[in-house]
Structure 1
């Protein structure tokens, strides 16, 4: 049997967002602490990020900005979900973000069943979230779709079958989406660790080795720029 990395890399998938937009109209976006350009902008609110990201898209004649896997970011500091008095600060992103300033359609990357769904409504959290479960060639794994519209959770229940490419949601807008500039957080999760409707999308340095193994690079599936 293939190991899970080789299996994920070999799969033929559907786009997860606005499938009418070709990958040639995607542009990489660096929101890490190492991007000095961020230091020249005031980026405190969702609206600030919307303007920054739209300028990045316009300057590159692009429609979707993508990136963020294993990026260390400052944008989580405003939220007690990631930094509070009782837990170690989490600032390393373990999903892939797809940024577009509209309520784009969100689609199932592969055939699967709804594992769980939930509105994670704290400031800085996922907002409305759907998690699918997939079983292929003996491997069970999951895909998480975060920062959706509230309407996306309606008329769905755990166990429902979802066909690859089917629209499962629309992108959420702030503040419903956790109060971020509109984007999809897409993440692969091997073991859900008994969690439902939610799973960490940001970790700290001490847990990075575990999460890198349990949440492999989402671009193994999406193959953007490959």
Structure 2
């Protein structure tokens, strides 16, 4: 019995738009070897400036910054890792660099990316790429490289405002769906109205909201109550 199951490779998908609906070209990058680890960095900003004449400071909440994702990815042109020899590690790294950093002709901006590995789904934009060449032939030609990539998260404007607490004095609600819960009933409970069902479905990227599986985590932004 295979307890671990089939090996799933990390996928990096590229899109032209922030709605992640228009695939770029190329639309994805085949990750050669899954990273040993990845890091998620979360930050909250506070204003600690003191008022004139006041020596004391108080950390006043400013905003939630988008999360940041980073990992190391390996490249090899010997064929040892995947039985597919490649002629030149330089050309492979140049293709990867263009995939991540090129400007889209249609939008005149860098691409948007979706990184998928198991249950982890991260949406964001590239903020950094560092390439280290690790293994060399006798003449100094590199045959293996490690790319350190970093991305800053992107999220829906409604959810961004909700996390920044700009829509109302109320805090964002995060709820886990229980058996028997419906989106209209949850909206009624939180807002006192079902008027925001469509907006809540959009904030949580729900294609259908008639039957939401128990255990699903939903965000309810602090809209002004109807």
**TM-score under structure 2 length normalisation:** 0.20
Larger Rg: 2
**TM-score under structure 1 length normalisation:** 0.20
The answer to which structure, 1 or 2, has the higher relative contact order (CA under 8 A, 6+ apart) is 1
Q: Which has the higher strand share?
A: 2
